[in-house]
Structure 1
Amino acid sequence: MRNAEATRERLVQAARRIFSERGYERTTVRDIAAQAEVNPALINRYFGGKEQLFAEAVSVDLALPDLSGLESGRIGPALAAHFFRRWEGAEHDDLLRTLIRTAATNPEAAVRIREILGRQVAPMISRVAGSERLAERAYLVATQILGLAYARYVINLSDDDIARDTLVAAIGETLQRYLTAPLP
């Protein structure tokens, strides 16, 4: 059983690397198997196919901080700073960009993003903003974060003239409003 677990993990790691580099559409089962140095048939055996392997490979923990201890006006900027660190952070965070890029053309990637946000962002918001219109607040926060990620890290919209601190403050203000201000 140990070999099976090790092989499965090698496949997941290989898939993460290749999906991050090439995206979903340009990645083949053969590419992943070659990277993991296994027979391509093992992908079907362990995962049932490319889509299921993709779903497992891009399981992302956003590592959202506990913002409930912050004074109310600092929650939005702290959340914005967290996302900037995540997007510009460790190598495994390339998966976040891969998901954003792939979601435009792949329904499975779009489902994964919705699942990740639903499981992780909504509970974080409920801790800092309560349950009043939680779904709407989570939706608004997600649109801001996903829009930022797409513009900055997928299409590489230049922000050379805007200091990162300015971006964090501006995005933070918007997130703050979504989290704590009365919604129309």
Structure 2
Amino acid sequence: MAFTARSQETRAAILAAARRRFAADGYERATVRAIAADAGIDPSMVIRYYRSKDGLFAAAVDIDLRLPDPASLPPGRAGEALVRHFLELWEGDGPGEVLTVLLRSAVTNENAAERMRTIFATQVATALGPDVDDGPTRGALVASQLLGLALCRYILRLPPLVALPVDTLVADLAPTVQRYIGAPLE
């Protein structure tokens, strides 16, 4: 389906408003009416482009984590690369906002939780590389560290964790993530 420049602008405005609203209110409390008001359009336009709140949410949280290729990483440094990459995603605009929306919403909405599980199961497990035994389990362990960090630093905003510089977080978390990637699992 080809979109005109004006409809592309409208779609972009809707997605930006939806990400802000979902991030602030979570999936359950965000409404199509509020998102439309934030975008400066009629609610019927949201439905026209995205069919439903679920369709809008799916579009708003569509994300490629752009994880580093495991073959490009020095041996024993994948944990460091993954922690740094995720911190850069969360600290930046765009992907960080989408991840915030997903994490906030996944706690109360099963569709959001499933989306988060799919993203982390496919993208993180794949980023560990084909030579990693038990990739899904290791990917889940890595995700537990990264999502726990994100919850505490970006959602709950625990002051000591918020105050830590990125390099300190990388240094402190990378060995644990690296162990999940390469050490024998019990």
Name the TM-score class by shorter chain: 0.7 to 0.9
The CA distance in 1 between the partners of 2:169 and 2:12, in whole Å, is 38
Tell me if 1:69 matches 2:72. Answer: yes
The verdict on how the C-alpha distance between 1:92 and 1:139 changes in structure 2, with shifts beyond 3 A counting, is closer
Task: Classify 1:163/1:38 alpha carbon distance in 2 versus 1 (closer, same or farther; 3 Å).
Answer: closer
Deviation of 1:22 (Å): 2.8
Write the deviation string for residues 23-63 of structure 1: whole angstroms up to 9, x where unpaired: 22332111111222322123223222112201110112212
**Contact residue 80 and residue 177 of structure 2 kept, 8 A:** yes
1:28-177 matched pairs, under 5 angstroms: 28-127=31-130, 130-159=131-160, 164-177=166-179
**TM value normalised by structure 2:** 0.86
Partner of 1:27: 30
C-alpha displacement of 1:106: 1.1
Instruction: Report how many aligned residue pairs link the two structures.
Output: 182
- Whether the 8 Å contact between 2:89 and 2:95 is mirrored in structure 1 is no
Residue 17 of structure 1, aligned match among 16, 20, 34: 20
The alpha-carbon deviation at position 150 of structure 1 amounts to 0.7
Question: Counterparts of 1:146 and 1:52 in 2: how far apart (Å)?
Answer: 24
**For residues 92 and 82 of structure 1, do their structure 2 counterparts lie closer, same or farther at Cα, with a shift above 3 Å needed?**
closer
Listed as ranges, the gaps of 5+ residues in structure 2 are none
Alpha-carbon deviation of 1:95?
2.0
8 Å Cα contact 2:22/2:101 also seen in 1: yes
Alpha-carbon separation, structure 2, partners of 1:155 and 1:132: 34
Q: 1:37 to 1:167 in 2, by over 3 A?
A: closer
The whole-number CA distance in structure 2 between the counterparts of 1:13 and 1:163 is 28
- Offset, 1:72: 1.9
- List alignment gaps of at least 5 residues for structure 1: none
Identity of aligned residues (%): 45
- Contact 2:121 2:136 (C-alpha < 8 Å) held by counterparts: no
Deviation at 1:175, TM superposition (A): 0.8
Which letter maps to 1:77? E
Q: Which amino acid aligns with 1:177?
A: R
Is the alpha carbon distance of 1:125 and 1:23 closer, same or farther for their aligned partners in structure 2, counting shifts above 3 Å? same
Name the SS for the 1:10 alignment partner.
helix
**Given the two structures, how large is their TM-score scaled by the length of structure 1?**
0.87
CA distance in 1, matches of 2:72, 2:50: 41
- Tell me how far 1:124 sits from its aligned partner: 0.8
Per mean C-alpha deviation after superposition, the further-off stretch among 25-34 and 173-182 is 25-34
